[in-house]
Amino acid sequence: MDALLVDRWPGDLERLTIFDQASLSEARERARAAAAAAGLSTEIAGAVAIVASELASNHLRHAREGLIAVRTMRRAGVPGVEIVAADRGPGIGSPTAAIERGASTAGGLGVGLAAVLRLADEVDVDVRLGEGTCIRARKFQSLQRRREVGVIGRPIDGERVSGDDVAFTRTDDELLVAVADGLGHGAEARAAAAMAVEAALAARARGLDTILGEAGEALEHTRGAAMSLVRVDERDETLGHAGVGNVTTHVVGPSVDRAFSGRAAVLGARPRGGQRAPGRGHGETSMHLGQWDVVVVFTDGLTSRARLDGRETAERRRPSLIADTLLSRFGRSHDDATVVVIA
């Protein structure tokens, strides 16, 4: 279970383990080479190298088994580079302190992360307390910003891993997010949640109802899980949602305040009589998503009163900061808790 996230996060990209100053220099050079291969300007290539250096330095200071992966990419014909930094460290205990105040018990984390946020065009931050952190930073020849993702999750008191899991994947104009809550707590709950989000990733090109159905089939011999799927289409400015169980999705903005909940069932569970439940047909819904609308998905480790402050949407704060605030404000120590913010 320890290696699950750090193995998933970089996907099939070539990985560089960061363990000394020489590997830090190699990360910087790989970033420069990718920027050159993508055709980025010298100035932007320099920014990409700094981002890689800051992320690799954070691995040396704060993590164990930190790695860097770099890839070239294009979006709407515009070249860019993505840097993925994943580790098996303790997670960023307070993203708000690290980003806004530069606070760090070991020194330097806040400065490094703040530099990454300043230099990159987009940054996704995925923090699993006690397990690790993944940061995805993207830089383009010209600004091609899409919504960013912020994740923060922690286990129930007394457990080493959370029974929740999250995965998200992107194409040029679409973002698919899967949030699963395995029944119960601990390793077995996590195994079910991980299987659910892996099934979602494998079926990501299909409709949300179909993805849920396939996840349910994959979980047939597990304890089962609740899961919500959110698909954001940046081109059409729409949000699609489908879910099973008590993983809540909430959309808040200047003119919207809408909550989505899943069908009252469990993915992979068989009720008495042996009939598989649920199958397909979970009620996919969609809505317009405005420029300033913020999407929040959370498991039942947050109280049902969990709501965004309107100021947080108006200020368009970083998704990781909003997620941290919500977990601090509404999280319950007697349950696994995970928050995902898309903004």
pLDDT digits (tens, 9 = 90+) for 42-65: 999 999 999 999 999 989 888 777
Q: What is the pLDDT of residue 275?
A: 42
Give the other-Cβ count within 10 Å of 304's Cβ: 10
- The sheet that has 174-182: what strands, in order across it? 164-170, 174-182, 225-233, 238-244, 285-288
Give the integer Cα–Cα distance in Å for 12 and 116.
23
Q: Which residues pair with 103 in a beta bridge?
A: none
Strands (E), 78-198: 78-86, 122-128, 132-140, 149-154, 164-170, 174-182
What's phi and psi for 44, nearest 5 deg? -70, -35
- Does residue 110 carry a pLDDT above 60? no
Of the given ranges (110-114, 183-187, 249-253, 255-259), which has the lowest mean pLDDT? 110-114
Give the other-Cβ count within 10 Å of 43's Cβ: 7
Question: For residue range 218-245, what is the model confidence (pLDDT) as tens digits?
Answer: 999 999 999 999 999 999 999 999 999 9
Domains of the chain: 11-145 (3.30.565.10), 153-343 (3.60.40.10)
Question: For residue range 70-107, what is the model confidence (pLDDT) as tens digits?
Answer: 999 999 899 999 999 999 988 887 788 877 765 444 44
Residue of 170 and 282 predicted with greater confidence: 170
- Beta-carbon-side half-sphere exposure of residue 134 (alpha carbons within 13 Å): 23
* Mean pLDDT, all residues of the chain: 89
Q: Has this prediction a pTM greater than 0.85? A: yes
Average pLDDT over every residue of 330-341: 95
Q: What is the pLDDT of residue 111?
A: 60
Quote the percentage of the chain above a pLDDT of 90.
73
- Does residue 323 carry a pLDDT above 60? yes
Q: What is the pLDDT of residue 54?
A: 94
Quote the percentage of the chain above a pLDDT of 70.
90
Question: For residue range 259-312, what is the model confidence (pLDDT) as tens digits?
Answer: 998 888 899 875 544 444 444 545 789 999 998 999 999 999 998 888 886 666
Q: Checking phi first, is residue 169 left (phi over 0); if not, alpha (psi -120 to 50) or beta?
A: beta
Q: What is the CA radius of gyration of the chain?
A: 19
Q: What is the pLDDT of residue 273?
A: 44
**What pairing do the DSSP bridges indicate for beta strands 248-253 and 256-260?**
antiparallel
Q: Which residues contact 341 (CB under 8 A, 6 or more apart)?
A: 149, 150, 151, 294, 295, 296, 319, 320, 322, 323, 326
**What pairing do the DSSP bridges indicate for beta strands 149-154 and 122-128?**
parallel
Q: What is the pLDDT of residue 270?
A: 59
